[in-house]
Structure 1
């Protein structure tokens, strides 16, 4: 695996730091089923499928291509890149939710993946989801009870209409994302993976989130953050990985990597405009 620069503020050599995630030459592919919409409705489509006796074709997407890096305790690492560059796929692979085709991933403890689409139970109240989410995060019922008020207060969902007593399906996407982050951040993690969850909410919630991420890092954890908000990356992270077309294009201090990416995308936009 190729060497990587130390994140800003880290002076100790790599050998004196504790790695939490090692990604070594990883390739990840997945299949997108289906193609152009067919005519004739579902009944006709099922008839064609049964008469053919085969499964519908799919398209294979090679989403991550030979990516390698090491992450260490106390780091907050941002992932940037254009849509479809492999950021979310890489996080899912680190979390163990997607298999790798080639290469290997080592992690310290069990990584926790938090995304805007993380599943909570829509028909259950916010209160019940806090309990179930806490249990899924490995907390005991006593720990959940002790932290319940803080979780709800942090999320801000109960500020209007006693939202914590309403079903999750009545929440806006922002309310749901804030509650998911609040549940996940209620305990320490060796590795916490956050996919766009901090792009929701007002400035006060984003500030509380950044402060909580700093606390998680101080508790010897590692945080990965995917966000299209470059200011969130530079304010929250000291290191950034830039993925493009599934490859790791740059790994270095967050401000430098973001500036290089913005210069690259600006030039690409100028070329398209000609």
Structure 2
């Protein structure tokens, strides 16, 4: 009798990816408003182009049903990697292949500040491809999940009146209302109180159970431990370690590179 091998289905393949930012006019050393105005008047371009090699030859494969943490110090390339998987940044070299549509949820995800939270919920859901009937059916659940109205009728107020935490909670609640093939989360779980964080973690588990793949970038290692069974450690744009969360996070906290 032979054992049955269950093939895992890849959802994201990152193959030797390099990402380079180019900052034009960064090499002159003269950044004053006067020098900029002089260049404009004389129609001269700023000399020098500075290149920032943000991601350097990273490769990995993610599979359906996985929750993967991305950790590293500030400026390590975690959020850049996330944006590239979402298709928002081009690669200088290498390729990113996805099975399904990646959806990036970050604390800076765009909602319209002049519109009410209510209108943003409706427009955000429609933008994700939900039908008007689906939006109506999920609307109250989204508002309750976000906790926006816990201390008053804030959902009817313009988004510009919200704190940054309130806005981040509403963004997560909108994005989590739909099942995603690949959901990319940048620091969203670091916002809100303990109750909201627990609701968020439970919802991520549900999304994984619905055959999605979740990536989580966070500086909160406890969130990574609770949500992700696999973690990728990126430092200075390079992949340092990819493996079981407890092992990778433990080495990261102790500063022990493999």
Unaligned runs of 5+ in 2: none
> Does structure 2 conserve the Cα–Cα contact (< 8 Å) formed by 1:49 and 1:55?
no
> Does structure 2 conserve the Cα–Cα contact (< 8 Å) formed by 1:81 and 1:244?
yes
Aligned position for 1:182:
173
> Does structure 2 conserve the Cα–Cα contact (< 8 Å) formed by 1:80 and 1:243?
yes
Of residues 165, 168, 176 in structure 1, which corresponds to 2:159? 168
Quote the offset at 1:33 in angstroms: 4.8
> Does structure 2 conserve the Cα–Cα contact (< 8 Å) formed by 1:49 and 1:56?
no
Quote the offset at 1:110 in angstroms: 0.9
TM-score normalised according to structure 1 size = 0.87
TM-score normalised according to structure 2 size = 0.93
Unaligned runs of 5+ in 1: 1-11, 268-274
2:125 is the alignment partner of 1:134 = yes
Quote the offset at 1:47 in angstroms: 3.2
Cα distance in 2 for residues equivalent to 1:48 and 1:69: 45
1:229-248 aligned within 5 A:
229-248=220-239
Cα distance in 2 for residues equivalent to 1:39 and 1:245: 30
> Does structure 2 conserve the Cα–Cα contact (< 8 Å) formed by 1:125 and 1:165?
yes
Quote the offset at 1:58 in angstroms: 4.1
Give me the CA root mean square deviation.
1.8
- 4+ residue runs over 6 A deviation: none
> Does structure 1 conserve the Cα–Cα contact (< 8 Å) formed by 2:39 and 2:45?
no
Quote the offset at 1:224 in angstroms: 0.0
Distance 1:124 1:214, change over 3 A: same
Equivalent pairs counted in the alignment come to: 252
1:137-216 aligned within 5 A:
137-216=128-207
Distance 1:57 1:145, change over 3 A: farther
